[in-house]
Amino acid sequence: MAHIDAGAELDPVHPVALPERRAAGLTGAEVAQRVARGQVNDVPVRSSRSLTDIVRANVFTRFNAIIGVLWIITFLVAPIQDSLFGFVILANTGIGIVQEWRAKQTLDSLAVIGEARPTVRRDGTATEVPTSGIVLDDLVEIGPGDKVVVDGVCAEADGLEIDESLLTGEADPVVKHPGDSVMSGSFVVAGAGAFTATKVGREAYAAQLAEEASRFTLVHSELRTGISTILKYVTWMMVPAALGLVATQLVAQHHAAKDAVARTVGGIIPMVPEGLVLLTSVAFAIGVIRLGRKQCLVQELPAIEGLARVDTVCLDKTGTLTEGGMDVTALHTLGDSDEAYVRTVLGALGESDPRPNASLQAIIDAYPDSEEWRCVESLPFSSARKYSGATFSEGDGETSTWLLGAPDVLLGGDGDSEGDSASDRGDHGGDPALAETERLNEQGLRVLLLARATRDLDDTEPQRGARPAALVVLEQRLRPDAADTLRYFAEQNVRAKVVSGDNAVSVGAVAEKLGLAGAAVDARRLPADREGMAGALEEATVFGRVTPRQKRDMVGALQSRGHTVAMTGDGVNDVLALKDADIGVSMGSGSEATRAVAQIVLLDNSFATLPSVVAEGRRVIGNITRVATLFLVKTVYSVLLAVLVVCWQVPYPFLPRHLTLLSTLTIGVPAFFLALAPNAERARPHFVRRVMRYAVPGGLVAGVATFVMYLIARHFYTGPGSLDAETSAATLTLFLISMWVLAIVARPYTWWRVALVAAMFGAFLVVLAVPALQSFFALRLVGVTMPWTAVAVAAVAAATLDLTWRWVDRRASA
């Protein structure tokens, strides 16, 4: 198929033909010169932060600074046993760095798989190169769905329409002609062309805005925000409590300086929930690694959490519920049309588009091109128009103009002042084509109308007066995993909404095959205002004839009702909705523009991977909520003990080694396993409120019971060495209460959870039974009375704690 040179100037809203003579692009030598000069597109990889950033984020934290200073002081003035907490922090930080580095490697390897490879023309040959392989003055070819990766000037245009909404906010596509500027971050919605790169790397417009599309996809993480809020309040509580403790232990108490310093440090250290941030990062990192093994690229870590909180998922039919490919199953000629002639027209239309969509590709596969026909002018398909067209010079010298697209759009152009076609009004106006179309749509088949236009393509409404010639029937391939995935979402109380640009009846039939009941709604009948549209979306499930702008409006309408919305899609018509959704999910085979704005990319194009992402998010949210309770119970009782010690003017009951032992056995080791355990709990909002609802009463009960036991032991024991005996009794009480907190948090019990709690309890008994460990941790239970009194106090506290938490549960569920 040849294109003739279109020298005439056309209306700016209509297409032009691609010139016969194309520029050859740079030569190999010119490319080498530009690489040597550093004129390459060296924008940093967006997928993850560098190793330096990872180390810095894990090492240089506020609490690490506090603990580091205290560790140095303790190391200088106290036995090595009291410095164990510092080594634990080093180990934790190392684990965090290693896990995040593993996650980074996973992300980077997946990003390479899913990376777009623009086509550049060099030495007259079109070649795919990595985005980073583009050099200054490269001639870059673009077509529907391609993202403009560097700034440039349009060199060739064949009906080229570019959407710059991600940069300017203007949703209407901009028609580009040779000489017009194109900006990185925009994407092609229709037509094809080429542009010359004028700015690459960090000089490109989108790179200056913050590494291309990343500025448009800021995912809110309630976990991270909540933990930051908690740490802020913890800092406020720590400062006065620590100052009071320092004054009491170093000034009011007349103990040796080393012992006073050790007990002061022992009071400050447990106030710091040092492992909470670490475990959150590790949980996210391991989630990325697990999903990476399933070919799921998580471009932003909090997106794992975000999808778990989603209560509404909007699905594009084509490419999501159905596979990308289609097959032509029938050709119905209309009127006196000759089938052989119609086949020739369809073959010519297929050849006229250099970048055919799935429908046109099926037609290309079914009908060969006629070498005698030449394309004079073409009108590329766009989601807004819902049809394409071309003007041909036939073999006998005659010219004809043909349109191919949605039957209800092409046949609704006469006399419909409001833009509604006959099929929209519930009748066919006697048109057999529309009647046949509806019958086929009800079977879930896709139908395109071939019509001969009576107007030129550069007319404002070329479809008006078009004469129908044939119906092309296509069958879409349902994804084998779609029905199971939709069933999973229904079981999880996540509502599915199918939004498609296809005919509503056809979309409804496909949805029904997949188990989504309910009549399909034609989106052109939806209210234009947000409130009215939100009401319609609450009632219906399937929507057809949805324009790209309507998809975006639908996402906004659902969000206005308080819904957390995920949007899936693979086509350029899904980009605007993907950008505005709380979580955007793109197929790996989708357009470059959709992959750029989505937070999650399914590289294997499997819709069935989504439940895995939801499950991973729920695991992270549920488990971090559990372990946060453990850490913050410790923070609350530590602050309370410090306040009580200051008020009673007594020595702090613990040395750092005691609390290191308790923290390791009741929080550190168990929390690591609990944070990575399977967890299918539904994600619930208000993370901070839910955690503090349990941590505050738990910490108060543990702190009061421990201090009461300490005062009882002080009254009971007298003479030299009594402080060690008092500390041991208080340590036993606090350990037993903390173990009960762990036992409650570990519910519901499985064999490994029971084994975990039992192992921690057994480890403490070993410390008490082995003389060398008793000496190392300065634990010496003297007599029988106080140890059993400690057990009794701990039992009363545990019962009180259990009753309190049950009451909190009832209040929360009321």
The class (CATH top level) of 28-37+116-216 is mainly beta
Residue 264: C-alpha distances to residues 408, 638, 658, 702, 735 (Å): 80, 12, 13, 20, 20
Q: Give kind and range of the element (H or E) at residue 326.
A: strand 322-333
**What distance in Å separates the CA atoms of residue 584 and residue 574, rounded to the nearest whole number?**
10
So where are the chain's domains?
A: 28-37+116-216, 70-79+225-290+617-813, 296-321+479-605, 328-413+436-473
Tell me 501's DSSP state.
S
pLDDT of residue 481: 83
Listed in sequence order, the residues at least 6 apart from 549 whose beta carbon sits closer than 8 Å to its beta carbon are: 171, 384, 576
Q: Do domains 28-37+116-216 and 296-321+479-605 have the same CATH topology?
A: no
Is the Cβ–Cβ distance between 541 and 529 less than 8 Å?
A: no
CATH number for the domain formed by residue range(s) 328-413+436-473: 3.40.1110.10
User: For the chain, which residues score pLDDT lower than 70?
Assistant: 1-22, 43-49, 107, 110-116, 165-172, 205-220, 250-257, 301, 324, 412-430, 719-721, 814
Is the Cβ–Cβ distance between 407 and 433 less than 8 Å?
A: yes
Half-sphere exposure of 685 (CA within 13 A, CB side): 6
Is the Cβ–Cβ distance between 502 and 526 less than 8 Å?
A: no
Cis peptide upstream of residue 240 (ω within 30 degrees of 0): no
**What distance in Å separates the CA atoms of residue 445 and residue 432, rounded to the nearest whole number?**
17
Residue 393 CB-density burial (10 A; 0-12 exposed, 13-18 middle, 19+ buried): middle
Is the Cβ–Cβ distance between 204 and 226 less than 8 Å?
A: no
Half-sphere exposure of 433 (CA within 13 A, CB side): 26
The class (CATH top level) of 70-79+225-290+617-813 is mainly alpha
Is the Cβ–Cβ distance between 547 and 522 less than 8 Å?
A: no
Residue 126: C-alpha distances to residues 6, 134, 187 (Å): 23, 13, 20
Structure tokens at 760: 């921690």
Is the Cβ–Cβ distance between 594 and 574 less than 8 Å?
A: yes
- Give pTM, 2 decimals: 0.69
Listed in sequence order, the residues at least 6 apart from 436 whose beta carbon sits closer than 8 Å to its beta carbon are: 332, 471
**What distance in Å separates the CA atoms of residue 373 and residue 426, rounded to the nearest whole number?**
39
Task: Tell me the backbone φ, ψ of residue 165, rounded to 5 degrees.
Answer: -65, -30
For domain 296-321+479-605, give the fold.
Rossmann fold (3.40.50)
- As beta bridge partners, residue 298 has 600
Residues known to be catalytic: 316
pLDDT of residue 187: 83
**Per-residue pLDDT tens for 407-460?**
888 886 443 333 344 444 444 455 788 888 888 887 778 889 999 998 888 888
- As beta bridge partners, residue 586 has 569, 601
